[in-house]
């Protein structure tokens, strides 16, 4: 089994947090690893060939051709994901698949397990997704490419939220690189943040050097004060938490492509639908990487409000927002990245010892995103969404 020259470049590098390629935190998947893993999986029949190595940064993954067809193999650091935590993700995926959402099946090993520990790593094997991997090389903070795709992305998210109803697993336990609803979703913000940090010693250590906890509270509290009365009206729901165009497979490469399948449930957790929607808007309609490349005054507005309106149009056509959700959505937009940014700090500072990236996660991204929403461009972006939501509300009132 060999890797081509182009794949070798991908093997050595991964997407960084500023829109470029960088050295990987952990090595790429190798031919020898895949051969060893095949011993645990009867369906991984030889001959085996690596077809493509993923440039995504937090795990190692590859498309592998087997005698029975192509599979997607993903390897995790055991300090980030263990067999039990992957099983949490797989159960949610099974629920969604049973409710009609196109999610690739997880391949079981010879003992019927959906994840395998081998030589200090954790592996999972998936069937390939239906459709075209149109955003395969895209970074997570690149906006969706067209209004038609934005509508399709919103519609698919609403369908997933409908399908997720009835899945009653508890919230996942604390671990690195995991989105959550533990801080923003708690009515007692300061106590929730203290509890979150206490459960993650690496985060506590990193924030202590810069009075970080106090700075997070100072940034989050004004928005949370307005959000707090709305929290009881937001029903708990297991959600995807990383709804970006690169985690979807598409019907084609065109501007009106539709969503064929959903992948990458690594951040899924118990939360609320409207926070997941806020994350989708932040991930897909704001060009954060442009803000990183140039000063804000040189790029104009990075928030694409028309894409956001298209995404909301697709979502609300399937799952209309309640009055409380509409109000909460606008407050949650600046807070969408808070808990995952802290989880990135835990990974970079506590797992791989990369404090340069930890400083990007906090304060540059966590506080920086909140600050952008408070600036002229961010306020304009939110005003446009508020106006659109009000027009939808008025239209609904007229029709009743």
At 40-87, the pLDDT tens digits run 999 999 999 999 999 888 889 999 999 999 999 999 999 999 999 999
pLDDT, residue 3, reads 35
Question: Which range among 16-30, 294-308, 356-370 shows the weakest confidence by mean pLDDT?
Answer: 16-30
pLDDT, residue 342, reads 98
Share of the chain above pLDDT 70, in %: 91
Q: What is the sign of the dihedral through the CA atoms of 143, 148, 153 and 158?
A: positive
pLDDT, residue 370, reads 96
Return the structure tokens found at 9. 């470049």
User: Regarding predicted confidence, which is higher, 364 or 225?
Assistant: 225
**d(Cα 360, Cα 19) in Å, to the nearest integer?**
13
| 346 secondary structure, DSSP code | I
pLDDT, residue 111, reads 95
Q: What is the pTM of this model?
A: 0.93
pLDDT of 138 over the 50 cut: yes
Sequence-distant (≥ 6) Cβ neighbours of residue 129 within 8 angstroms: 72, 102, 104, 249, 260, 261, 262, 263
Question: Which range among 240-244, 325-329, 353-357 shows the weakest confidence by mean pLDDT?
Answer: 353-357
pLDDT, residue 146, reads 98
Give the model's confidence band at 290: pLDDT under 50 very low, under 70 low, under 90 confident, else very high: confident
In DSSP terms, 149 is beta-bridged to none
pLDDT, residue 179, reads 97
Size of the chain in residues:
400
At 96-113, the pLDDT tens digits run 999 999 999 999 999 999
**d(Cα 236, Cα 103) in Å, to the nearest integer?**
22
Q: Chain-wide mean pLDDT for the chain?
A: 91
> Average pLDDT for residues 198-221, to the nearest whole number?
96
Share of the chain above pLDDT 90, in %: 84
pLDDT of 191 over the 50 cut: yes
User: Regarding predicted confidence, which is higher, 114 or 23?
Assistant: 114
pLDDT of 172 over the 60 cut: yes
**d(Cα 213, Cα 204) in Å, to the nearest integer?**
8
Report all structural domains of the chain as residue ranges with CATH numbers, in order of start. 5-127 (3.30.200.20), 147-394 (3.90.1200)
> Where are the strands (E) in the chain, listed by range?
13-15, 21-23, 49-53, 60-66, 69-77, 116-118, 121-127, 236-239, 248-250, 259-262, 269-272
pLDDT of 5 over the 60 cut: no
User: Regarding predicted confidence, which is higher, 295 or 139?
Assistant: 139
> Average pLDDT for residues 310-321, to the nearest whole number?
98
pLDDT of 288 over the 70 cut: yes
Question: Under a CB-based contact definition with an 8 Å cutoff, are residues 248 and 153 in contact?
Answer: yes
User: Regarding predicted confidence, which is higher, 126 or 2?
Assistant: 126
Give the model's confidence band at 338: pLDDT under 50 very low, under 70 low, under 90 confident, else very high: very high
Give the model's confidence band at 392: pLDDT under 50 very low, under 70 low, under 90 confident, else very high: confident
pLDDT, residue 8, reads 38
End-to-end Cα separation, the chain, in angstroms = 64
pLDDT, residue 298, reads 46
User: Regarding predicted confidence, which is higher, 316 or 397?
Assistant: 316
**d(Cα 99, Cα 110) in Å, to the nearest integer?**
27
Question: Which range among 233-242, 327-336, 351-360 shows the weakest confidence by mean pLDDT?
Answer: 351-360
**d(Cα 152, Cα 275) in Å, to the nearest integer?**
19
pLDDT, residue 395, reads 75
pLDDT of 300 over the 80 cut: no
In DSSP terms, 106 is beta-bridged to 126
pLDDT, residue 312, reads 98
Q: Provide the 10 A C-beta neighbour count for residue 375.
A: 12
pLDDT of 394 over the 90 cut: no
pLDDT, residue 56, reads 86
């Amino acid at each position: 089994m060999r890797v081509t020259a182009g794949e070798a470049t991908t093997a050595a590098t991964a997407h960084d947090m500023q829109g470029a390629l960088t050295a990987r935190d952990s090595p790429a998947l190798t031919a020898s690893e895949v051969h060893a893993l095949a011993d645990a999986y009867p369906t991984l029949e030889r001959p085996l060939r690596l077809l493509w190595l993923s440039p995504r940064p937090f795990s190692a993954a590859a498309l592998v051709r087997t005698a029975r067809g192509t599979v997607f193999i993903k390897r995790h650091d055991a300090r980030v994901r263990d067999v039990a935590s992957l099983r949490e993700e797989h159960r949610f995926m099974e629920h969604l698949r049973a409710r009609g959402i196109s999610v690739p099946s997880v391949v079981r090993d010879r003992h019927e397990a959906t994840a395998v520990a081998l030589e200090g790593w954790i592996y999972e094997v998936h069937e390939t997704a239906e459709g075209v991997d149109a955003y395969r090389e895209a970074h997570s903070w690149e906006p969706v490419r067209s209004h038609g795709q934005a509508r399709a992305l919103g519609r698919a998210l609403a369908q997933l939220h409908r399908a997720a109803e009835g899945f009653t697993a508890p919230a996942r336990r604390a671990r690195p690189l995991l989105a959550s609803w533990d801080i923003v979703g708690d009515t007692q913000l300061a106590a929730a943040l203290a509890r979150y940090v206490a459960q993650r010693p690496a985060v506590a250590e990193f924030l202590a050097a810069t009075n970080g906890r106090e700075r997070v509270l100072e940034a989050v509290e004004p928005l949370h004060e307005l959000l707090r009365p709305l929290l009881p009206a937001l029903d708990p729901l297991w959600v995807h938490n990383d709804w970006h165009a690169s985690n979807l497979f598409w019907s084609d490469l065109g501007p009106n492509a539709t969503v064929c399948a959903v992948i990458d449930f690594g951040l899924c957790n118990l939360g609320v639908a409207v926070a997941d929607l806020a994350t989708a808007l932040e991930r897909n309609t704001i060009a954060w990487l442009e803000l990183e490349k140039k000063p804000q005054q040189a790029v104009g507005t990075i928030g694409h409000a028309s894409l956001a309106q298209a995404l909301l149009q697709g979502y609300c056509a399937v799952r209309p927002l309640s009055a409380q959700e509409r109000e909460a959505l606008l407050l949650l937009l600046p807070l969408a990245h808070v808990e995952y940014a802290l989880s990135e700090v835990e990974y970079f500072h506590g797992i791989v010892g990369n404090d340069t990236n930890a400083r990007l996660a906090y304060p540059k991204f966590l506080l920086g995103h909140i600050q952008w929403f408070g600036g002229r461009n961010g306020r304009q972006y939110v005003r446009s969404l508020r106006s659109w939501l009000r027009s939808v509300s008025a239209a609904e009132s007229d029709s009743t």
